[in-house]
Structure 1
Amino acid sequence: MSPLQENFYQKSNDQGETIKTEVYKYLKHWYWFVLGVVITITGAILYLRYTPKVYKSSAKIKILNKTKGLELPSAAFVFNRSNINLENEIEVIKSQRISEAVVDRLDLTMRYFVEGNVLTTEMSQLPFQILKTISNDSITSKASYRIEVKTSGFEVTSHNASQSLVFPNFDTTKTNHNLPFELNLPQDFNFENAEDKVFIIEISPVSVVSGSIKNGVKVNVLGDSDLLELGFTSQSKDKNERILNTLIDVFNEDGINDRQEISRRTINFIDERFDLLAKELDSIEVGIQDYKQKNDIITLETDAELGLSQRTLSEQELFELEKQLMLSNLLGETLRQPNAKSDLLPANIGLSSTSINGLVDNYNSLVLERDNLLTSGGVNNPNVVLLNGKLEDIKSNIFASIESYAKQLKASKAQLSRKNRKFASKVYNLPAKEKIITDITRQREIKQSLYLFLLQKREEAAINLAITEPSIKVVEYAISQHVPISPNSRNIYIMGLLAGLAIPFGIIYVILLLDTKIKGKEDIVERNAKIPIVGELPKLKGDQLIFSNPEDNSMQAEAFRILSANVDYILPVHSNNKGRVVFCTSTIKGEGKTHVSINLSLSLSSINKKVLLIGADLRNPQIHNQINEDKHKLGLTNYLHDENFNWKEAIIKGFKNHPNHDIILSGSIPPNPASLLTNGRFEQLLEEAKLEYDYIVVDTAPTILVTDTMLISKLADATMYLVRANYTEKNLLNYSKELNESGKLKNMAYVLNSVEANKSYGYGYNYGYNYGYGAKS
């Protein structure tokens, strides 16, 4: 196995041992855990017996989607999700308005209770008849009344009254009182269920009760659906169901009323708009009529046709006038030509003037007559001269006629041009009039279509008002659980069990946390890891001797044998086979150094070793108490003080079963123990004893109290430093650590005394030291 694996397994083993050690700390106090569990379970039983039972009721509803009309597919439609805002619906359900409606409908301002020996329980109704005589609006503060059913009648006591009201014959209507209710017994009343019982009536304002319902109603969304789960808890299952069912009805009616209110407002709005639209349509019709009359319009098509025909006729007349004017001008120009005196004038050229045409004809006749005379009579013929004069007169008349006719034509042309422009303007203005008529007509059509649309919507609103769909679908009306949710017996018992274990655990933990005494080997190793621990001695009842019998095979005896073996390992080997000196000391008095010194010396003696036990604690000797000897018997002080005293004279046999075991008691308590121990006599005694004994065990004084041990510590081959479990303070280990590090104690090793079975290695397991030896007590 690699070093890394060894380290891993070592850590794993250490963790396991640590956990087991911690567990053993508490398991040894198992009786406290048993007592704690018994007490807490008993408390849980009493709590469950006298705690009011709270039941839960639940109902399920589906919020219906009331979206009207066709809608384009949305993301909610594509992914099959509802577009209903359930959060809004939940807030409406839990609103104060809805809760107040439930309170009014169920008349929940009155609550009923029955008193028990220990517990007061809420009831859904009283066993007798009660009629409230006060309206909910008149309740302004809480009040309670105590009703006792006596054999003769009711006895009612108000919470703020010192005297009770007695109503004989179980009827409050026959007595004057100021109670807010009337009481009466039904005909089938059973006295066994109510006699000598006390009932309590509590009256609360609507706001208080509705607030409790609002806070008590729990609404949850079931998954991703449109389903809502409503829950309510109280001591009465019937009350829970009535509240939830009524809440569902009120919420549904509230939604229906909202939609009906919309329909009613729609109808009222449409009726108002009908009156306005009728007036507007009348105004538009009158406007069209006035406009046509003002502009002489029959219809746009007729006016347009008439205007175009008049304009065409006028243009033809104007063309004719211009033609006559041009012909007359042409005739005049012909007369003005130089050769026009003898030429004929054009006749029938299209002039409409008969006078000009007549003059032209006369002129041409005279020209022909003159030309005939010129042929026969010559130029100077008097008839020719006469005819020339007539021709000049006629020509002048023609010019005058042409000029007069031209003026007439021009005047007619000017008049006709004005008439033509009027006709053209009339035709030109027709599009503008058409636009105005079209705008007015469009407004009339809009109003008419709006009128028809509103009429349709009014019919739809009337239908919706008459037939309004519910706002919810009740999936499941209120159902109550048969098992109360509070107190939860299973949880109460579990909590009681845990409390029964946790409380002792906490107390023990605090005690252990505040306990600064050494408990086991790990406490020593934690502070002084460099100093070896050569023995862990189990706890004994009293300080009885272990090795009075060398053959003792008890667990304690085996522990001291292991100690003696470990001590032998740390003792140096002398080349001259001299005996070896073992000092037993401690920090303070009471850590068991005398007890360990005696038993250690006896365990060494039991393996056929010669052992000398010396009582060197001159200030507080204790060895004589273990062997029933006189405290003032000759001992070490006598030898140290008297140079002529032989230490062998102080040797006694304290144990008849240990022939190799000798003891030198401390002797009388001297006034100067420190000077006696350092006068050289003690060192001489040890040197002489080493020649005769294999081991010399010295019981010395505690180190922190006096300096006696430090003065002679150099004489020891090994120093057993006693630490007593559950007695020695942990901080005293620092003192022993300083002694070791400073070298004041030679070859120091710890011996842990009075270890409990679960603290000593090997004692808390199933393979103790007595395994296979037939232990003897």
Structure 2
Amino acid sequence: MSQLEDNNYNIDKDQGEAIKREIRRYTHYWYWFVLGIIVALIGAFIYLRYTPKVYNASAKIKILNKTKGLELPSSAFVFNRSNINLENEIEILKSYRIIENVVDRLDLTMRFYEEGNVLTTEIYRLPFNITKTVSNDSIYVGSSYRIVVKPNAFEVTPSSTSKVLNFPNFDTTKSNHNLPFELSLKSKNTIGAVVGKSYIVSLSSISAITNGLKNRIEVGVLGANSDLLKLDFKSQSKSKNERVLNTLIDVFNEDGINDRQEVSRRTIDFIDERFTKLARELDSIEVDIKDYKQKNNLITLDSDAELGISQRTISEQELFEVERELMLSDLLKESIEKPEDKSGLLPANIGLDNSSINGLLDNYNTLVFERENLLKTSAGENNPNVVLLESKLKDVKSNIFASIDSYSKQLEASKAQIARKNRKFSSQVYSLPAKEKAIVDITRQREIKQSLYLFLLQKREEAAINLAITEPSIKVVEYAISNGAPISPNTRSIYLMALLAGLIVPFGVLYVIQLLNTKVKDREDVQERNPKIPIVGELPKVKSDQLIFKNPEDNSVQAEAFRILSSNVDYILPVKEKGTGRVIFCTSTIKGEGKTYVSINLSLSLSSINRKVLLIGADLRNPQIHTHISEEKHKPGLSNYLHDVNYNWRDAIIKGFEKHPNHDIILSGSIPPNPAHLLTNGRFEKLLEEASKEYDYVVVDTAPTILVTDTMLISKLADATIYLVRANYTEKNLLNYSKELNESGKLKNIAYVLNSVDTNKSYGYGYNYGYNYGYGTKE
């Protein structure tokens, strides 16, 4: 194994040992943990027994898209995300207006409770009839009433007056009272189930209930990519939870429907208002068209244009005929005045439309033919018949001229009249475009109004249809469902928390105690501060009457501990010349750590193995060895020897324990005024030299090191220094002093002995000392 792997192994091993050490520190107090768990579980049972049960109900809804018509898919649609702002819908769901409507609809301003021996529980309804006689708006201040069901009556006590009101026969309607409700019994057959029970009726203002309900209703999105909303409500009543959520869903749905219906209603009202105005405007336009046509003699533009053109054509044709007649009359007149025919005949049937002239022309030509016939036959120009005919011809010709002139004048007059008529028809035709423009403008206004009228009529029908068949605002995915088990208190969690508390509280208390406890508790505390100083023994904590094991054959835990100590001390003592004993100093930092107790028992354990041992009481300031052997404090001893050069130390030796013949004791003697001077006058060193030649071990009980310098003055004389540390007595900071003494060399060959260790904390004693190997533990 490499050096690095070896170091890692050692680190892991040290960490494991540290963990085990910490565990052992707490497992020693296992009974506190057991007691803590028992108390915590009992507390949890009591808490669960008398804590009101709170149930939760949940519902799920989907907000429907309110947009109408066909829409192109947007990016949100492509990525399967809703176009609806769910945050806005959540705020509307939890709005004061919606919640207030729920409170009013369910009449939640009146709440009911059933009193138990310990617990008062909210219930959804009373087991008898109750009718509220005040409106929600009239409740401004909260009040409560206690109802006790007696065998023959209701007893009601208002909290404001504490005056008991009695209502016999379970009917409040037959008595005068100021209660805001009426009570009556559903059936007298059920009275036995409620007699003796007490109920509380609580009335609160609608604002207080609404605000409370608003804070208790939870609305959230079901998932990250979901467009569903989850509604939760908690109370002590399952039915109340479900009714509140279902009513909230209904109110929210109706609110959305009413919003859209309100749009339809307002649309219909607006259209109806516009219909009245449009009807008046259309009537006005129709009257204007009628007046304009009457004023301008119009029927229709097409018929009037066709009539005007036909009249103009006829007029022009008549004018043409008159001018033709005039021209023919002029030609005829010219022909009569300058006849081209020598016979004197006049043209006939030239197209004149005058029967008189045509008849005169025919008559004239007939006379001409008669004259010519006469001339040709027998008569000459002077023939009376010829002359008569000539006279007739002149007369007829004269008549022809007169007729032509008269006819021409008549034609001129007709021409002028026809020309005027023609101009009138022409002006009528020429004015048609202006009239058409005017009539088109008026007609356009009428068509606009008519199209608007038809459009609004269509929209009115659409609004009426939408009003009649308004679609819901939401889709209920899941109506309110209550959990079977209460969510609070959670039995499993409470017991688990109680179990943890039963472990954590004792652990915390022990941790704080240990944290505040600055005393040395076990060998780990010593090794942690001074790892270089070995620990040669751990002495168990014993009762005060068993401090000294006087019997060498004693097999108690204490005796075995000191035998182990004596064996371990022997290992740290240096090897000396044969026949020379070894000197062991027992000291401590402060008074009370057990150095005298250890000195005596260590010396006894060494003598029990047939070794000659001398115990010297060198604590001249506060001697204690005499208290364990029932000797006087001022019996001659070490101080006498040190002071009197003629005093033999052997004269101070006493036997303190009958069953230990190899054990001798030199007490401290009288308390001197100058112990330090006496210990350094050389006689103490001489004593040790002489005693080490006669004894195998010399055990010296010295003074505490931090209080006086006595021990440091003689420390060089020791072969080993047993340094006492008392568990749960010695301060941890005092270990630093012994560490300094070791590092500075002021004390020689130091080894710790941990005194008064709890048997459960020691390495050996925790297992009943040697796994109960043939010994019994004595208290």
TM-score tier (shorter)? 0.7 to 0.9
Going from structure 1 to structure 2, the CA distance change for 1:84 and 1:509 (only over 3 Å counts) comes to same
Query: Deviations for 1:32-74, whole angstroms, at most 9, x for unmatched residues?
Result: 2222222222222222222222222223333333331010011
Q: Give the gaps of 5 or more residues in structure 1.
A: 311-353, 355-418
Q: Distance in 2 between matches of 1:442 and 1:575?
A: 146
Q: Which stretch shows the higher mean deviation, 463-472 or 583-592?
A: 463-472
Cα distance between partner residues in 1 of 2:744 and 2:440: 125
Q: Which residue of 1 aligns with 2:201?
A: 201
CA deviations on 1:388-409 (whole Å, 9 max, x unpaired) are xxxxxxxxxxxxxxxxxxxxxx
The alignment-based identity, stated in percent, is 72
Q: Which residue of 2 aligns with 1:140?
A: 140
Question: 1:772 & 1:92 partners in 2: Cα distance?
Answer: 81
Distance 1:34 1:128 in 2: 50
| Residue pair 2:614, 2:664 contacting (<8 A) in 1 also | yes
Distance 2:302 2:607 in 1: 151
Shift of 1:515: 1.0
- Structure 2: how far apart are the matches of 1:703 and 1:305? 151
Deviation at 1:592, TM superposition (A): 0.8
Q: What whole-Å deviation, never above 9, does each CA across 1:630-654 have from its counterpart, x for those lacking one?
A: 4444422332233222222333344
Q: 1:116 aligns to what?
A: 116
Gaps of 5+ in 2: 313-330, 332-422
Query: Are the aligned partners of 1:152 and 1:168 in contact in 2 as well (CA < 8 Å)?
Result: yes
**1:221 alignment partner in structure 2:** 221
Alpha-carbon contact 1:558-1:769 (below 8 Å) kept: no
Give distance in 2, aligned partners of 1:611 and 1:444: 143
| Structure 1 residues 306 and 567: alpha-carbon distance in aligned structure 2, compared to 1, 3 A threshold | farther
Whether contact under 8 Å (2:548, 2:600) holds in the other structure is no
- Cα-Cα RMSD: 3.8
| Map of 1:378 onto structure 2 | none
Aligned CA distance change for structure 1 residues 440 and 730 (closer, same or farther; 3 Å): farther
Amino acid at match of 2:102: V
| Number of the residue aligned with 2:93 | 93
Q: Contact conserved, 1:98 with 1:250, CA < 8 A, in 2?
A: yes
Which of 514, 519, 539 is matched with 1:537 structurally?
539
Judged with a 3 Å threshold, the aligned counterparts in structure 2 of structure 1 residues 302 and 601 are, in CA distance, closer, same or farther, namely: farther
Q: In 2 relative to 1, CA 305–733 (structure 1 residues): closer, same or farther, beyond 3 Å?
A: farther
Match of 1:652 among 638, 651, 654: 654
Residues 57, 480 of structure 1: 8 Å contact kept: yes
1:707 aligned partner: 709
- The amino acid that maps onto 1:750 is Y
Q: 1:20 corresponds to which letter in structure 2?
A: K
After superposition, residues 439-588 of structure 1 pair within 5 angstroms as 447-542=449-544, 544-545=546-547, 548-550=550-552, 555-574=557-576, 578-588=580-590
Tell me the secondary structure at the aligned position of residue 190 of structure 1: helix
Q: Partner amino acid for 1:210? A: T
> Shift of residue 606 of structure 1?
4.0
Q: CA deviation at 1:154?
A: 2.2
CA contact (8 A) 1:284 1:440 kept: yes
Match of 1:370 in 2: none
Q: How do 1:99-498 and structure 2 match up within 5 A?
A: 99-223=99-223, 224-278=225-279, 447-498=449-500
User: In the alignment, which residue of structure 1 is the partner of 2:23?
Assistant: 23
Q: Note closer, same or farther for the CA distance 1:725–1:434 as it changes in structure 2 (3 Å cut).
A: farther
Displacement of 1:194 = 2.3
Deviations 1:536-576 (A, max 9, x none): 32322337356645455555444434433443343333357
* 258-267 or 440-449: bigger deviation: 440-449
- Number of matched pairs: 670
Matched-pair contact (CA < 8 Å) for 1:55–1:233: yes
Structure 1 residues 548 and 294, CA gap change in structure 2 (3 angstroms): farther
How far, CA to CA, are the matches of 1:71 and 1:27 in structure 2?
Answer: 73
Q: Aligned pair in 2 of structure 1 residues 714, 303: CA closer, same or farther (>3 Å)?
A: farther
Give 1:49's aligned residue: 49
Aligned-partner Cα distance in 2 for 1:215–1:588: 66
- 8 Å contact 2:589–2:738 — kept in the other structure? yes
Aligned partners of 1:554 and 1:769 also within 8 Å: no
Say if 2:768 and 2:777, in contact at 8 Å, map to a contact too.
Answer: no
Aligned partner (choices 723, 726, 738) of residue 725 of structure 2: 723
**Does the 8 Å CA contact 1:553/1:770 hold for their aligned counterparts?**
no
Amino acid of the structure 2 residue aligned with 1:456:
Q
- Which amino acid is the alignment partner of residue 484 of structure 1? P
CA gap 1:439/1:636 in 2 versus in 1, 3 angstroms:
farther
The range that moved more, 645-654 or 11-20, is 645-654
Offset of residue 685 of structure 1: 0.5
**Larger displacement relative to structure 2 (664-673 or 168-177):** 664-673
Alpha-carbon distance in 2 for matches of 1:643, 1:286: 161
- Amino acid of the structure 2 residue aligned with 1:133: T
Partners of 2:616 and 2:698 within 8 A in 1: yes
Describe the shift of the 1:640–1:464 C-alpha distance in structure 2 as closer, same or farther (beyond 3 A): same
With over 3 angstroms needed to count, the CA separation of the structure-2 counterparts of 1:77 and 1:239, relative to structure 1, is same
- What amino acid maps onto 1:69 in structure 2? G
Structure 2 CA distance for partners of 1:686 and 1:251, relative to 1, 3 Å: same
The aligned counterpart of 1:673 is: 675
How far, CA to CA, are the matches of 2:571 and 2:227 in structure 1? 84
In structure 1, what is the equivalent of residue 601 of structure 2? Answer: 599
> Whole-Å Cα distance in 2 between the matches of residues 771 and 41 of structure 1?
36
State the Cα distance separating 1:142 from its structure 2 match: 0.7
> CA–CA distance in 2 between the matches of 1:31 and 1:771?
23
